[in-house]
Amino acid sequence: MTSRSTVVAVLTMLLVAACSNSSSTKSRAGTPATFTVGELAVFAPLPPLLGAREQRLDEARTALGRTLFYETALSESHEISCNSCHALDAWGVDGRKVSVGHKGQVGTRNAPSVYNAAGQFAQFWDGRAKDVEAQATGPILNPIEMAMPDSEAVLAHLRTAKSYVASFRAAFPGEK
Helix H or strand E encompassing 66: helix 59-69
In angstroms, the first-to-last Cα distance of the chain is 80
Q: What are phi and psi of 161, to 5 degrees?
A: -95, 115
Sequence-distant (6+) residues with CB within 8 A of 129 are 122, 123, 135, 138
Q: Is 152 a catalytic residue?
A: no
Selected range binding ligand HEC among 10-18, 31-39, 54-62, 80-88, rule: CB under 6 A: 80-88
**Position 123 contacts ligand HEC (CB under 6 A):** yes
Nearest to 68 by CA among 152, 173, 4, 163: 163
Q: Which of 39, 145, 152, 175 is an active site residue?
A: 145
**Position 109 contacts ligand HEC (CB under 6 A):** yes
Instruction: Out of 61, 73, 112, 153, point to the residue binding ligand HEC (CB under 6 A).
Output: 112
Residues identified as active-site: 145
Per CB under 6 A, residues contacting ligand HEC are 80, 82, 84-86, 99, 101, 107, 109, 111-112, 114, 117, 120, 123-125, 132, 135-136, 139-140, 145-146
